[in-house]
Structure 1
Amino acid sequence: MEVVEKKSALITCSEKIRAIHDTMDVLSGKWKVSIIACLCYQSMRYSEILREVEGISGKMLSRELKDLEINNLIHRKVLDTKPVSVSYEISDYGRSLKQLTDVIADWGINHRKEMIKEF
């Protein structure tokens, strides 16, 4: 019985690790989670995202937005304005990451407090 439980635990562990790798491949890099977190709260134009996500370059933002769109996490919407402007919004599928961004943010807040406490 114990051997079966260990084998089952190993399968579960390897499946979780594979799933984590898949997730990290989609969300890799310094900026994607921040962009997703912003768009979870409201649709934004390119320039608004560029302002909100401190430190990202325009070229990098364009690349990350394309990647997020390819992975069905956001929608790009061309607005009928003069001049033409583009808005980005979180997809229903992308919205499933909101809880993850909240957990990451909470952990980051607690980690910062822990590190400040050390000094």
Structure 2
Amino acid sequence: DAAADVVLGPTEDGGYDIIGLRVCPPGLFDGLPWSQPTTFEASKRRFEERGLRVSVLDAWWDVDEASDLQRLQELLAGEGGAERAPATAAVCAELKLGALLADTASA
């Protein structure tokens, strides 16, 4: 939305994984609940209360916990996964993410 002042990408867990702002008024993020199931809604409400036009992208998921890393690893290992996110796949390979997750699961 070209008219939006704020663009938010909500995540499945109630947060957001991307934000774009035309301007960032002082105090815009003060007192917002972070890493909570209400983070996205509280942020969106705050922005709208400040008179900012908010555009919301489709919801997605993000990586916060080991189970999210496992999900990422499975996505990258699936058909076309590494081609869709080559930089992410390269970092995961460099970190030996698959082996790390296997070690964590067996511990």
Whether TM-score is above 0.5 comes out as no
Which structure dedicates a bigger proportion of its chain to helix?
A: 1
Q: Structure 2 length normalisation: TM-score?
A: 0.29
Higher radius of gyration, 1 or 2? 1
